[in-house]
């Protein structure tokens, strides 16, 4: 049995159909995720807030000045609520591909490309939700230089949009415009995540085809991984399905969509606010989906340098062709001179002169061609010098950013070290305070013990001294009594006995003091 025939055209059509189905699913999902009851409750809550007389007067003045009715205000609140929910969904979906894909600053960097008058600037204004880029419907490009603006998608994500000059401008050559478009890499350093190729709904002209070729020559084939095609002027479809438009597109457009991975969307830049918000949400969904598929990779200067190597190869081919033409002209001139030298006779001379004149004319034409070629080579060399200066500026900007990142990390480490030192200092101060408190308590306890010891010593001394004095008084009374009764001999004996008694009293006092001192020592230890 013969193998089935593989139809590449049907495969492309199925891929486009899948992309269109995904666009419709994302549009319906963004609409279904919004709980209308929650929005209505939020609006009712706003209505039920107490309003003072002055507040109601201010509201009337505000509505009159800004011409925003209550219904418009409710619609605006619903759009803002939908936008917040859609951004939360995009952020959540992006985290599935990896953490911190947008880098430390949370930047989403995109650049708008396309021919003049196609609506790039107006698309940028709608993505940024403001009139920041000048727009026009004429064939003269309003944007002469790359410009960028930004807006916050949420508190962690910033959208950077770069508007580039249009190709095939009636007044600006494509070489000048291409040189300016290359600056988009520098403005979106370290590089854009997405290039949006803007095409108008209508006939896919040869200029669009040449635009694609020019962009591939500038940036190389690898840029197609970062390209999203956005069709403007969706209102010109007159209600026809976008699927039908893509299926009936010319072969060149289908090939372009296939190279870009069938990443495309439609927008009506002049639609009402609700419809415009839906189109912008679909484009943002496609941007975040592409960033996730690329794992957060962006188009870098290294990719541009690879494309530059291809251009250098073509330049060398032109130089070699120029040298071959010069050698051919020299050879033809030598052949003519040899023919003139060998010829003789007037007729031959006239013919040779005529041939020489014709040859000189040809040589003059060749000379002019060579001069034009040399002029183009000089222009190409000037362009290369300009690109080298631009690359040096980009390199310096990249190095500056790296130094700033290193300085930021060093400051963070220093802050962490200072915080640890502060915590250690607080801990040491707390320990010092506790130690002082313990010493104060120990000092109080020691003083209390000293007071008790002094009190005890005084009590013991007073008790022993009182007893001794009492005994001395008794002895003196006996002596006086014995002195009166007994004779001198007996009095002498009595005195001796009294001396003995006094010695005993002194010994008793000494023992009492020694006992008290021993008790103090034992108690203190």
Instruction: Read off the pTM.
Output: 0.49
Band (pLDDT 50/70/90 cuts) for residue 359 is: confident
Band (pLDDT 50/70/90 cuts) for residue 284 is: very high
Q: What percent of the chain has pLDDT over 90?
A: 7
> pLDDT digit string (tens) for 236-263?
888 788 888 888 888 888 888 888 888 9
The answer, yes or no, to whether residue 315 has pLDDT greater than 90, is no
- The CB-side HSE value for 46 (13 A sphere, CA atoms) comes to 12
The answer, yes or no, to whether residue 266 has pLDDT greater than 90, is yes
Burial class (CB in 10 A: 0-12, 13-18, 19+), 118: buried
Give the Cβ contact number of residue 275 at 10 Å: 14
Task: Tell me what pLDDT residue 103 has.
Answer: 74
Q: Are 143 and 121 in contact (CB under 8 A)?
A: yes
Q: What is the mean pLDDT of residues 70-97?
A: 84
> pLDDT digit string (tens) for 112-131?
888 777 888 889 888 988 88
The answer, yes or no, to whether residue 461 has pLDDT greater than 50, is yes
Task: Tell me what pLDDT residue 73 has.
Answer: 81
Q: Could you tell me which residue, 425 or 5, shows the higher pLDDT?
A: 425
> pLDDT digit string (tens) for 29-46?
555 554 454 445 554 444
Q: How far is the CA of 458 from the CAs of 454, 462, 466, 521, in angstroms?
A: 6, 6, 12, 15
Band (pLDDT 50/70/90 cuts) for residue 213 is: confident
Q: Cα 125 vs. chain centroid, distance in angstroms? A: 22
Task: Tell me what pLDDT residue 7 has.
Answer: 45
The answer, yes or no, to whether residue 59 has pLDDT greater than 70, is no
Structural domain spans, the chain:
12-46+57-299, 456-524
The answer, yes or no, to whether residue 157 has pLDDT greater than 80, is yes
The answer, yes or no, to whether residue 325 has pLDDT greater than 90, is no
The answer, yes or no, to whether residue 60 has pLDDT greater than 70, is no
> pLDDT digit string (tens) for 174-185?
565 566 666 656
The answer, yes or no, to whether residue 508 has pLDDT greater than 60, is yes
* Dihedral (CA of 296, 301, 302, 306) sign: positive
Band (pLDDT 50/70/90 cuts) for residue 265 is: very high
The answer, yes or no, to whether residue 340 has pLDDT greater than 90, is no
Task: Tell me what pLDDT residue 506 has.
Answer: 67
Q: What is the dihedral of CA 316, 318, 322, 327, to 10 degrees?
A: 60
Q: Could you tell me which residue, 300 or 385, shows the higher pLDDT?
A: 385
Q: Are 298 and 187 in contact (CB under 8 A)?
A: no
Q: What is the mean pLDDT of residues 401-422?
A: 89
Q: What is the mean pLDDT of the chain?
A: 73
Task: Tell me what pLDDT residue 10 has.
Answer: 54
Helix%, strand%, coil% for the chain, nearest 5 = 70, 10, 20
Distance CA 434, CA 428 (A): 10
Most confident of 7-11, 20-24, 435-439: 435-439
Q: Could you tell me which residue, 414 or 479, shows the higher pLDDT?
A: 414
Q: What is the mean pLDDT of residues 188-203?
A: 82
Task: Tell me what pLDDT residue 170 has.
Answer: 41
The answer, yes or no, to whether residue 348 has pLDDT greater than 80, is no
Task: Tell me what pLDDT residue 50 has.
Answer: 44
Band (pLDDT 50/70/90 cuts) for residue 430 is: very high
Task: Tell me what pLDDT residue 43 has.
Answer: 46
Question: Can you name the residues that pair with 199 across neighbouring β-strands?
Answer: 231
**Is 12-46+57-299 assigned to CATH 2.60.40.1730?**
no
Task: Report whether the peptide linkage leading into residue 190 is cis, meaning its omega lies within 30 degrees of zero.
Answer: yes
Band (pLDDT 50/70/90 cuts) for residue 520 is: low
């Amino acid at each position: 049995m013969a193998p089935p025939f593989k139809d590449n055209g049907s495969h492309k059509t199925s891929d486009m159909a899948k992309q269109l189905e995904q666009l419709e699913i994302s549009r319906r999902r963004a609409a279904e995720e919004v709980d209308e009851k929650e929005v209505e409750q939020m609006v009712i809550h706003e209505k039920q807030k107490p309003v003072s007389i002055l507040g109601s007067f201010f509201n009337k003045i505000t509505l009159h000045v800004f011409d925003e009715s209550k219904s418009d205000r409710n619609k605006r609140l619903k759009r803002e609520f939908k936008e917040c929910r859609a951004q939360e969904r995009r952020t959540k979906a992006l985290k599935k591909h990896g953490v911190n894909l947008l880098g430390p600053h949370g930047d989403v960097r995109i650049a708008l490309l396309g021919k003049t008058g196609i609506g790039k600037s107006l698309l940028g204004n709608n993505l940024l939700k403001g009139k920041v880029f000048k727009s026009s419907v004429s064939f003269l490009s309003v944007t002469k230089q790359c410009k960028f603006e930004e807006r916050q998608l949420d508190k962690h994500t910033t959208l950077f949009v770069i508007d580039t000059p249009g190709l095939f401008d009636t007044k600006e050559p494509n070489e000048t415009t291409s040189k300016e478009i290359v600056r988009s890499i520098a403005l979106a350093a370290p590089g854009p995540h997405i290039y949006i190729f803007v095409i108008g709904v209508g006939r896919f002209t040869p200029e669009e085809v040449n635009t694609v070729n020019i962009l591939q020559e500038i940036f190389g084939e690898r840029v197609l991984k970062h390209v999203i095609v956005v069709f403007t002027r969706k209102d010109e479809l007159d209600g026809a399905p976008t699927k039908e438009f893509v299926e009936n597109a010319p072969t060149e457009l289908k090939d372009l969509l296939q190279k870009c991975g069938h990443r495309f969307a439609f927008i009506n830049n002049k639609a009402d606010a609700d419809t415009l918000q839906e189109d912008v949400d679909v484009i943002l969904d496609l941007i975040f989906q592409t960033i996730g598929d690329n794992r957060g990779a962006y188009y870098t200067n290294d990719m541009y340098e690879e494309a530059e190597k291809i251009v250098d190869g073509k330049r060398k081919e032109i130089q070699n062709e120029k040298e071959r033409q010069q050698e051919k002209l020299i050879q033809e001139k030598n052949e003519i001179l040899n023919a003139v030298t060998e010829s003789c006779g007037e007729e031959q001379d006239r013919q040779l002169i005529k041939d020489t004149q014709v040859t000189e004319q040809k040589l003059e034409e060749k000379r002019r061609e060579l001069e034009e070629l040399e002029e183009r080579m000089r222009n190409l060399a000037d362009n290369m010098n300009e690109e080298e200066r631009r690359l040096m500026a980009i390199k310096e900007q990249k190095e500056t950013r790296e130094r700033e990142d290193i300085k930021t990390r060093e400051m963070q480490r220093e802050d962490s070290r200072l915080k640890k030192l502060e915590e250690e200092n607080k801990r040491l101060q707390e320990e010092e305070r506790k130690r002082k408190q313990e010493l104060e308590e120990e000092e109080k306890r020691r003083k209390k013990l000293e007071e008790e010891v002094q009190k005890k010593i005084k009590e013991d001394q007073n008790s022993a001294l009182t007893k001794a004095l009492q005994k001395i008084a008794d002895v003196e009374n006996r002596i006086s009594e014995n002195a009166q009764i007994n004779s001198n001999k007996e009095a002498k004996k009595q005195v001796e006995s009294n001396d003995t008694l006094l010695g005993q009293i002194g010994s008793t006092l000494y023992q009492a003091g020694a006992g008290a001192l021993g008790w103090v020592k034992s108690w203190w230890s």
